[in-house]
Chain A
Amino acid sequence: MRSLVLPDFTISRSEECDGCRACEHQCPFGVHTYDASNDRMVSDSRKCAGCQRCAVFCPKGAIEIRPAPSFYRPNASWSRERIEDIKRQAETGGVLLTGCGSDKPFRIYWDHMLLNASQVTNPSIDPLREPMELRTFLGSKPERILLRDDADTDPVLTLETPILFSAMSYGAISYNAFQALAIAASRSGTFFNTGEGGMPAEMRPLFKKHAIVQVASGRFGIDAEYLNCAAAVEIKIGQGAKPGIGGHLPGEKVSKHVAATRMIPEGTDAISPAPHHDIYSIEDLEMLISAIKEVTNYEKPVIVKVAAVHNISAIASGIVRAGADILAIDGMRGGTGAAPKVIRDNVGIPIELAISAVDRRLRDEGIRERCSIIAGGGIRSSADVVKAIALGADAVYIGTAALIAMGCTLCQRCYTGRCSWGICTQDPGLMRRLNVEEASQRLVNLLSAWSHEIKEMLGGMGINAIESLRGNRDQLRGIGLHEWELDLLGIRGAGE
């Protein structure tokens, strides 16, 4: 059927273009082709994803990709996006898929909170001269200090900076991207998360001290050995981009190596059902947590990851009581390789509200020490990290920010498997575009840069250890927020 959808981008090519065909080689969506009869390059803008790969790699800098200026008659109710979504569905009859996090203009609370800085009474600290402590321990903490030789403490994760790489599975991302995350986590003293795709056998001995392995509803790639080749085990109940939705890796992305890692036949759909079919209650969750602790000989903390949804604080309370050592909450701006667009943009709540509500509820119930909180889904900068911790998180997960560090331009076509930057693809040719060493160095640099910035912000507040910032809402003030929002966040307005 002929598509009635307008192109999203226009492609212009300056006279500098010498027909070297680099753009043709770079574009996995088939936008650029060489027209031999006229000896020039031609472009089909309908296919353009706006990934900017051709523009970056054009040796002459001759290509420019811009949003298409064409528009339908302006209509406040029927935006171009609404019209084109309907056209696409009328053409295919299918659920609209998309990649990355929601691009809708929901209020970003990070941008409505301002940090404090010490001035006279409590002096600020210069992190260049004074020691600043970013080391973070995640896991269940004892309720009181016991000085006994045989004191039995629960296992904890030790991070050199309060930032972890969130779950991105091998299969959704390429082998090279997966390796880059693992290398960067081990060099930076933090952790990467395998997602629900398992961990390739050859990587296990190298990265087991820095891996968090995930148990999702599809139970892909899971056996006793996998669970024991990790620093922690995460049970994924939900994820921010698609709460209540299962995972589905289409058969064409299940290559031989992905199949071996997930322990399924090559080329079949890898379906993670929406619920864990053995979990229908908090008691059932407790059973899976206990089973995982049994199989790992009580040596590893267990994380339970849920999406930020309505009533999240009651859910969190149940999860802590079920025995989770760490609770990971993923906000609605969390990314994904593929989600139904309608779910991504309409389900869940922002992470800022969720952390605040959960932290307060767990404190009110007197069980906050039993569990650490990792916040994810919309962390864009070191300031977001600091604000998340001040709201009550112990550490944060970064996913999209890590992908951007490796070169991702958020073109949102991850679900096609044609990632031009080699991050979100299983195509061997495309995958080679991501140099593992370079990508891991970029990730290490990002973590190091953010850590320096966090130290600066802490110093400015007169705090010398990240531990002292956790739940320290007095360091935050809201600006441009309603009373109910300030109440929920547990912060005062600017000027108070």
Chain B
Amino acid sequence: MDTRELNSLLRELMLAGYERVVLRNVCGQRYIGTRLYSPQRRVMNIEIHGTPGNDLGAFLFGHRIIVHGNAQDGVGNTMESGEIVVAGRAGDVTGMSMRGGRIFVKGDVGYRAALHMKEHDQKRPVIVVGGTSQDFLGEYMAGGIVILLGLYGAHNASFIGSGMHGGAIYLRGSVRGAQVDSHVLISRPDETDMEILRDHISGFIERFPDLSLDLEYILDSEWTKLSPRSSRPYGKLYA
């Protein structure tokens, strides 16, 4: 089944009032969940077996998508609300420009994850990653929360937070100053931060029980917080 046909079918199912759909043998079909906008805010649960293609849940409007396997690039691109759970790894630009909802990735994410993620009013997007990310994590980040649990190795990404002017990145473990953009402040999480971490990491553990993670053990580890030094990085650039 090609991308357009699959998404038409999903839309029909949503409009017919179905609330749960299971897709099997998914093989590279793109934009799953994208054609599910409805002014009445109907919400579906979509379970995917196989490998969805790029832009999974792009512009997602309140739906919940679970992938039993890996996802490709652009997971949750500009999503508005809802939840995406990937029980594998996710590709580049995961959560790009996302402005609400949550993404949980069991494995690693690719380059430029959380690129230009933003927040507004009550909407605060969250990405929790079991492993780590590639370079340019949180580039131009303007809001929201990214948590890297570092379960499978050290954080080796460079250029973290280039142009970052909002939001926060929490890393379990540490990063060297050279890996992080000069606009970014490296600090230790305080109590409020730990509450945020507790909330979202328990959500992660709930979604991946097979990892048998102990919440307290994870929270007791060394944590690093990256946040912008200023919300106006270019305030003095112009004459």
Chain A contacts to B: CB under 8 angstroms: 88-89, 91-97, 217-219, 222-225, 227-228, 248, 250-251, 259-260, 262-265, 267-269, 271, 273, 277-278, 287, 290-291, 294-295, 297, 415
Contacts and interface: CB of A to CB of B under 8 A. Distances in A.
13 contacts: A88-B239, A89-B239, A92-B239, A223-B80, A224-B37, A228-B39, A269-B233, A271-B140, A277-B112, A277-B139, A278-B93, A291-B59, A297-B37
B74 A219 contact: no
Given A95-B237, A225-B80, A291-B59, 17 more contacts: A219-B78, A219-B97, A222-B59, A222-B78, A224-B59, A227-B59, A250-B235, A263-B118, A265-B119, A265-B143, A267-B231, A268-B166, A269-B235, A277-B116, A278-B93, A290-B31, A291-B55
Nearest to B117: A219
Given A223-B99, A268-B142, A269-B234, A263 B93 contact: no
B229 interface: no
A264 B232 CA distance: 13
Chain B interface mostly: loop
A415 B238 CA distance: 10
Contact of B121 (A93, A219, A260): A260
A95 B78 CA distance: 31
Contacts of B232: 250-251, 268-269
B58 A291 contact: yes
Given A259-B120, A277-B116, A94 B239 contact: yes
Interface residues of B, number: 49
B163 interface: yes
Contacts of A95: 237-239
B178 to A, nearest CB: 22
B123 interface: yes
B204 interface: no
A367 B95 CA distance: 35
A260 B123 CA distance: 11
A263 B123 contact: yes
Contacts of B3: 290
Contacts of B59: 222-224, 227, 291, 295
A287 B74 contact: yes
Would you list the 6 A-B pairs with minimal beta carbon distance, nearest first?
A94-B239, A224-B37, A219-B97, A223-B80, A92-B239, A268-B231
A92 B236 CA distance: 9
A295 B34 contact: yes
Contacts of B11: 297
Interface in B1-43: 3-4, 7, 11, 30-31, 34-35, 37, 39
Interface string B108-130: 00001001101111010000000
B7 A264 contact: no
A283 to B, nearest CB: 10
A88 B239 CA distance: 7
Contacts of A291: 30-31, 34, 55, 58-59, 77
A225 B165 CA distance: 26
A295 B37 contact: yes
